[in-house]
Structure 1
Amino acid sequence: MSNASWIVFAVASVALLAVPGRSALLVIAYALGHGKKTAFATVTGVTLGNLVAIGVALAALLLMLQMPPAAYDYAIWFGSAFIVYVAVRTWRAPVAGGLIADNDNLPEEKPLRVIAHCCRETIRNTRNTLFLVALLPQFMTAGEAFLPHAWEFATTFAILSVVTTLAYALAAGKIREFLRKHPKRRGITRASGTVLIAAGTVTAGYRKIAA
């Protein structure tokens, strides 16, 4: 994968991971309820869940690479359209969840159970998995070596997951106050949505130029 392609993939991944969805709000709730000491467990759990998501997406990519070239090209363009669709939905939607309180009822306290809880909730976010299924084919053509690309995709996404989740855990108090002052949170979702739209457009244009 070229440097330009990697940058586009990384930016799209950050935009996807930075949207304050179910996992992010759960990380904030644990940090507020049990302190920043939960950061290791919550970051680990969310990252494991995201690794499952990209693992599913890589398996789907491997299957798509077995398709005839024409069918694979159609899948790529359908993926670009789906990325833009998700981006528009993100741009228009409020941040998931309500206000976060210090005493939110959290079912787990032990680190391993917190990890399992965060992992489970992240896996339940099928939007991320579907987005990755649509995104990954944009950066591979039939005939390219699969394993090197898979390694780059997985490691990049995992590292970005750690960084974004850790940011939510360490800045939980400030983020909670921001969300309280901006109950509709339109600025956050619109910023992420705009980046995703740009990523979908750029990847589509990149594929056309490469062809």
Structure 2
Amino acid sequence: MSIELWVMFALAYLATTLTPGPNVLLVLKNAVQYGWRTTFATVLGNLSCQLIIVCLVALGVGELLSKTPMWFLVMKVLGGAYLIYLGVKALRQKQQGLPIIEHKANGVKKTNRQLFRQSFLVSASNPKTMIFLSAFLPQFLDVTHPHSEQFAVMFLTIAVTVTSVHLAYVWLVIQLGQKVSRGRFEQVMAKVSGSLFITMGGGVLLSSRS
């Protein structure tokens, strides 16, 4: 992959990452709820799923998924239902007056493993991600060089981009949170994240392969 082609890929992927989606929303929710350090476990879960997806795309599985209605339907229903579950959970937490910031002392703080698993599932929740990457990544392949090396470079670029963008979003939200009442900010964040998760889950359920 030439430098010019890599720059084009990096800029194009950055543009897609800047648009907030379920992964960004989850990072922000966890940062507000459990502290900014949870960003790393959440991002790692996302990137682990992305690595698997990139490997599957390299093997041509994404194209197969786009041509297999039953598998697409199963993944769509499971993914959409999981996002809606996260949204309902966040809204119920707000309505029941439960603390949004949880501490180890009350025994309910999520472990890094739980945050990792949650992020992995959210990243895997939309089957159109694989279909999108199956169409997106090959556009930047140099046919004169081994594809495996280029997919590796693209994943490393994805990892750096996702980590940087998510950390930037977390920093902005933390700065915003310092300017308003902590309790009020936590409640608003729970309401917004819950509503958006439900909306995104509905979008996944209503999505088509095209």
Q: Does TM, scored on the shorter chain, surpass 0.5?
A: yes
Separation in 2, partners of 1:148, 1:12: 19
Q: CA RMSD in A?
A: 3.5
Q: CA deviation at 1:108?
A: 6.8
Contact 2:62 2:131 in 1 (8 A): no
Structure 1 moving runs of 4+ over 6 Å = 61-64, 99-102
Provide the rounded CA distance (Å) in 2 between the counterparts of 1:42 and 1:162: 10
Corresponding residue SS for 1:124: coil
Shift of the alpha carbon at 1:126?
Answer: 2.9
User: In 2, distance between residues paired with 1:25 and 1:17?
Assistant: 12
Q: Per-residue displacement from partner, 1:132-172 (whole Å, max 9, x unpaired)?
A: 11112212255532222122112111221221222223333
Distance 2:142 2:26 in 1: 37
Runs of at least 5 residues in structure 1 that lack an aligned partner in the other structure: 65-96, 184-211
Identity of aligned residues (%): 24
- Which stretch shows the higher mean deviation, 108-117 or 166-175? 166-175
Work out the CA distance in 1 between the residues paired with 2:46 and 2:37.
15
- The AA in structure 2 aligned to 1:169 is V
SS at match of 1:171: helix
Which amino acid counterpart does residue 128 of structure 1 have in structure 2? T
**1:30: which partner in 2?**
30
Q: Normalising to structure 2: TM-score of the pair?
A: 0.58
Counterpart of 2:100 (choices 88, 100, 103) is 103
CA distance in 1, matches of 2:130, 2:49: 10
- Shift in Å, 1:19: 1.3
CA drift at 1:60:
1.8
**Cα deviation, residue 44, structure 1:** 1.2
Query: What is the one-letter code of the residue matched to 2:139?
Result: Q
Q: Is contact 1:62–1:146 with CA below 8 Å preserved after alignment?
A: no
Residues 1:49 and 2:49 aligned together = yes
Number of residues paired by the alignment?
A: 146
State the match for 1:195 in structure 2.
none
